[in-house]
């Protein structure tokens, strides 16, 4: 048995097994490693045990037992997070929701469906497609992330400019609070002004108030005839001018950006063709519906206008679904590609109108102090969210690199604070950013957050040490 797992008394371990069954309690080293971490690499997992409840009642029983025994719990979804929110580092019990994965009660008129917290995002997307509808929250980890985790972190992704964040698609929520009480919140209603909307408190709370066990998710009509346009620009400010011009005429489903450095690495490692021969400092990726025969004509007219203004150097529009997918890969494959260089990631945001000067200031402060660091930019520029990735030089020790990058974070977050932005646009706070929460939230806000946690989780057993 693992040394950390052995810290559980025999009586406690037997009580847990009596609730769930022996097969739903994992103690082997491989399982502890697998379920105890997320996609961050800064923390070593050290859970006491992995619990795999199959029903909501079992989740309640686990939480109630944890309160009696003084055991800490870490709710776990697909563990694709990048802030350490699902990492168990201190002999916690990991409550993995994998087996609560039902999809049922679809209602065509309401356009809603009930999902267990363990449903994979891509499964819900495929289910919606089978009904002739769309679940529009989409991101690179949709093949492994889970709905419960998406809700707990209020996941965003590549189509926020059109469809919003995860919270915009949650019509109802079942949660087990830190005391073990089951709450059924909002019940799928479109309009409900009967007091506080507690559902919204749990969305984005990173499992610190309770465990999300089921959600009623909204669906919508699928877009028609999507096309992808990639534009090359020399000056970052030109990207914002392109966004303004296109938004006046076209309802965009996505507006992303990435740098030439990012493109070079994706093209090289993924063996993808460059979008066009010209190399520019930055690239904008636009996606839009072709609603009428005149849509493409309007897009081409806007493109020509941007070229005439000197904002755009070159561009390409997809001529097939295959080409559209390959153009998207230039943006979507960046995270996986740069993982080979041990990137230090920062997920930051400000108002869309402030992004150009914001990005320039951030890059200047990093380059000034660490000129050997390679910076890779990409992000959801249409909603003010940029991803700063600093790649580790080959000759630099990993621990020293992380130490230096922590200093970078301090400087970057000072800029974020000055711009009224967020230290975490969509990845959450978790362990990684809890020391910097004050750069985005006032002392009064943090005090109220802690007071809310104390109400729902008075014994502090739910994901302790995260956010605060």
- What mean pLDDT do residues 344-360 have? 93
- What mean pLDDT do residues 102-111 have? 98
> Sorting pLDDT into bands at 50, 70 and 90, what band is 82?
confident
Question: Tokens representing 76?
Answer: 């776990």
- What mean pLDDT do residues 169-192 have? 97
- CATH 3.30.43.10 domain residues, the chain: 5-96
- CATH 3.30.70.2740 domain residues, the chain: 342-443
pLDDT at 292: 87
The angle formed by the CA atoms of residues 83, 442 and 175, to the nearest 5 degrees, is 55
What's the rounded Cα separation, in Å, for the pair 279 and 260? Answer: 7
Instruction: Please state which architecture CATH assigns to domain 5-96.
Output: 2-Layer Sandwich (3.30)
Percent above pLDDT 70 for the chain: 99
Q: Quote the mean pLDDT of the chain.
A: 94
Contacts of 161 by beta carbon, 8 Å cutoff, 6+ apart: 252, 253, 254, 255, 380, 382, 383
pLDDT at 42: 79
Over residues 13-22, the pLDDT tens digits come to 999 999 999 9
Nearest to 16, CA basis, from 53, 55, 57, 45 = 53
pTM attached to this predicted model? 0.93
Which of 3.20.20.70, 1.50.40.10, 3.30.70.2190, 3.40.50.1970 is the CATH number of 226-335? 3.30.70.2190
Q: What is the dihedral of CA 255, 256, 257, 262, to 10 degrees?
A: -160
β-pair partners for 76? 96
What's the rounded Cα separation, in Å, for the pair 323 and 419? Answer: 38
Helices (H), 55-203: 56-69, 121-130, 147-152, 160-163, 198-202
- What mean pLDDT do residues 54-64 have? 98
What's the rounded Cα separation, in Å, for the pair 164 and 148? Answer: 17
Percent above pLDDT 90 for the chain: 88
How many helices (H) does the chain have, and how many strands (E)? 15, 16
- What mean pLDDT do residues 36-46 have? 89
Q: Yes or no: say if 317 and 299 are a contact pair by the CB < 8 Å rule.
A: yes
What's the rounded Cα separation, in Å, for the pair 55 and 97? Answer: 9
* For residue 1, pLDDT beyond 80: no
- What mean pLDDT do residues 319-347 have? 93
**DSSP codes joined into one string, 314-377:** EEEE-SSHHHHHHHHHHHHTHHHHHGGG--EEEEEE--GGGHHHHHHHHHHHHHHH-TT-EEEE
- CATH 3.30.465.10 domain residues, the chain: 103-218
pLDDT at 293: 84
- Size (the chain), residues: 468
Instruction: Please state which architecture CATH assigns to domain 103-218.
Output: 2-Layer Sandwich (3.30)
- What mean pLDDT do residues 185-199 have? 96
- What mean pLDDT do residues 389-406 have? 91
pLDDT at 370: 87
> Sorting pLDDT into bands at 50, 70 and 90, what band is 3?
very low
Over residues 289-317, the pLDDT tens digits come to 998 889 999 999 999 999 999 999 999 99
- What mean pLDDT do residues 421-437 have? 94
Q: Yes or no: say if 219 and 230 are a contact pair by the CB < 8 Å rule.
A: no
The enclosing H or E element of 452 equals helix 443-456
Task: For residue 335, give Cα distances in angstroms to 39, 82, 260, 332, 416.
Answer: 11, 11, 15, 7, 22
pLDDT at 89: 96
Q: Which of 124-128, 157-161, 324-328 has the lowest mean pLDDT?
A: 157-161
pLDDT at 456: 98
> Sorting pLDDT into bands at 50, 70 and 90, what band is 402?
confident
Residue 258 carries which DSSP code? E
Instruction: Please state which architecture CATH assigns to domain 342-443.
Output: 2-Layer Sandwich (3.30)
> Sorting pLDDT into bands at 50, 70 and 90, what band is 90?
very high
């Amino acid at each position: 048995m693992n040394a950390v797992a052995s810290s559980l008394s025999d009586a406690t371990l037997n009580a847990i097994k009596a609730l769930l069954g022996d097969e739903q309690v994992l103690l082997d080293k491989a399982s502890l490693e697998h379920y105890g971490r997320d996609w961050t690499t800064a923390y070593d997992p050290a859970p006491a045990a992995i619990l795999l409840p199959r029903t909501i009642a079992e989740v309640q029983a686990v939480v109630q037992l944890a309160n009696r025994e003084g055991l800490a719990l870490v709710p776990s979804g697909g563990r694709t997070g990048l802030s350490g929110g699902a990492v168990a580092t201190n002999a916690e019990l990991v409550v993995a929701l994998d087996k609560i994965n039902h999809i049922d009660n679809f209602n065509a008129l309401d356009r809603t469906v009930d999902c267990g917290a363990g449903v994979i995002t891509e499964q819900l997307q495929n289910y919606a497609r089978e009904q002739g509808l769309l679940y529009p929250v989409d991101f690179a980890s949709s093949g492994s992330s889970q709905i419960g985790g998406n809700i707990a972190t209020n996941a965003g992704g590549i189509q926020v400019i059109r469809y919003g964040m995860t919270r915009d698609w949650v019509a109802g929520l079942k949660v087990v609070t830190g005391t073990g009480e089951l709450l059924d919140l909002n019940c799928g209603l479109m309009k409900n002004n009967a007091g506080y909307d507690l559902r919204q408190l749990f969305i984005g709370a990173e499992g610190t108030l309770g465990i999300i066990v089921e959600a009623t998710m909204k669906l919508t009509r699928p877009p028609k005839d999507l096309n992808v346009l990639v534009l090359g620009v020399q000056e970052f400010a030109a990207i914002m001018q392109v966004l303004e011009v296109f938004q006046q005429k076209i309802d965009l489903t996505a507006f992303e950006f990435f740098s030439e450095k990012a493109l070079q690495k994706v093209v090289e490692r993924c063996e993808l063709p460059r979008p066009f021969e010209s190399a520019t400092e930055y690239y904008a990726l636009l996606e839009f519906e072709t609603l009428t025969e005149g849509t493409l004509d309007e897009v081409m007219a806007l493109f020509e206008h941007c070229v005439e203004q000197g904002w755009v150097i070159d561009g390409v529009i997809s001529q097939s679904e295959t080409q559209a997918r390959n153009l998207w890969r230039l943006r979507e494959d960046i995270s996986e590609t740069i993982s080979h260089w041990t990137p230090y990631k920062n997920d930051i945001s400000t108002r869309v109108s402030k992004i150009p000067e914001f990005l320039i200031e951030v890059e200047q402060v990093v380059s000034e102090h660490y000129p050997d660091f390679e910076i890779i930019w990409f992000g959801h520029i249409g909603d003010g969210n940029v991803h700063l990735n600093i790649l580790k030089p080959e000759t630099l020790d990993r621990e020293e690199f992380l130490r230096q990058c922590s200093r970078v974070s301090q400087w970057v977050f000072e800029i974020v604070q000055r711009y009224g932005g967020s230290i975490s646009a969509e990845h959450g706070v978790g362990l990684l950013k809890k020391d910097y929460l004050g750069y985005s939230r006032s002392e009064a806000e943090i005090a109220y957050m802690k007071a809310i946690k104390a109400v729902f989780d008075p014994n502090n057993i739910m994901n302790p040490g995260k956010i605060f």
